[in-house]
Amino acid sequence: MHITTNKEQDIRIISIDGKIDSFTSKDFQDSLITHILDGDDKILIDCSKLDYISSSGIRAFYFALRELNSNGIIALCSANENILHVLELVDFHADFPIFNTIDEALNQI
């Protein structure tokens, strides 16, 4: 897994390349928490290069969500079908908005 981040306006965009599984979820979680502690409260996870997400990855999202203030948001965009299927299973969109494209996400957050 490879993480790259940039900031557009006030939105922190985190792009994930590879898998978030039980081996890499800790790094992903650390990355999220670091940005939240740095003051980012609008976070968009770009999943266009994400191959797979395991339950530990989902756990990392919820862990980060808990650290975020009540006005904060963690959103996802550009996830592939398999990932969407997994996210759908656990009712992910109830807590994390899911967008089809990055532009859509940036407009609506």
Residues that bind another protein (CB under 8 A): 22, 25, 54-56, 58-60, 62-63, 66, 88-91, 94-95
Cβ of residue 105: shortest distance to another protein, in angstroms? 22
Phi, psi (rounded to 5 degrees) for 44:
-115, 125
Is the CB of 38 or the CB of 91 nearer to another protein?
91
Cβ of residue 45: shortest distance to another protein, in angstroms? 16
67 three-state secondary structure = helix
Is the CB of 11 or the CB of 74 nearer to another protein?
74
Spatial separation of the C-alpha atoms in residues 63 and 74, rounded to whole Å: 11
What is the H or E stretch that residue 7 is in? strand 2-8
Is the CB of 21 or the CB of 106 nearer to another protein?
21
Q: Are 75 and 109 in contact (CB under 8 A)?
A: yes
Cβ of residue 40: shortest distance to another protein, in angstroms? 19
